[in-house]
């Protein structure tokens, strides 16, 4: 019975990407603590790591579950929002990119959470 159940489950791209996101967040946080001396840069990188880790965990936890279409779409929106928000902050510290995508990422994250909440009502 366990073998049949295991075979019925499909690999989850969202869960995989969530795991990579969480792993990258650990690295970013370590780099912020040990490789960055400027306080504002440390703060930006730690904020990026916090958001990436938290949303990575959500993607790992819910990415492999059986969500409705709205819920699955919400997870993709969360992934995009995290990449925009955390990527913009980390890119600013690591490559001196402007943080112009961070507000769009934050709005995308809020939208993703609203979609996820709405999907919970449609189960």
| Confidence check: pLDDT of 118 > 60 | yes
Interval 42-54 mean pLDDT: 97
Task: Please report how many Cα atoms fall inside a 13 Å half-sphere around the Cα of residue 70, on the Cβ side.
Answer: 12
Q: Please state the pTM of the whole predicted model.
A: 0.90
User: Helix axis angle, 13-34 relative to 69-95, nearest 10°?
Assistant: 30
pLDDT band at 2 (very low <50, low <70, confident <90, very high): low
Distances from the Cα of 23 to the Cαs of 31, 53, 104, 115, in angstroms? 13, 8, 23, 26
Nearest partner of 109 among 73, 81, 90, judged by Cα: 81
What tens digit of pLDDT does each residue of 20-35 get? 999 999 999 999 999 9
State CA 62 to chain mean position distance.
Answer: 12
User: Which pLDDT value is given to residue 122?
Assistant: 87
Neighbours of 46 (CB within 10 A): 19
**Most distant pair of Cα atoms in the chain: their distance:** 56
């Amino acid at each position: 019975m366990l073998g049949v159940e295991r075979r019925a489950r499909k690999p989850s791209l969202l869960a995989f990407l969530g795991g990579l996101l969480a792993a990258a967040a650990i690295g970013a946080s370590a780099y912020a603590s040990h490789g960055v001396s400027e306080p504002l840069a440390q703060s930006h990188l730690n904020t990026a790591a916090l958001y990436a880790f938290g949303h990575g965990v959500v993607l790992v936890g819910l990415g492999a579950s059986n969500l409705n279409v709205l819920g699955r779409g919400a997870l993709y929106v969360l992934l995009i929002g995290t990449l925009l928000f955390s990527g913009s902050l980390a890119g600013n510290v690591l490559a001196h990119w402007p943080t112009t995508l961070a507000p769009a990422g934050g709005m995308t994250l809020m939208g993703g959470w609203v979609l996820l909440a709405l999907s919970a009502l449609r189960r």
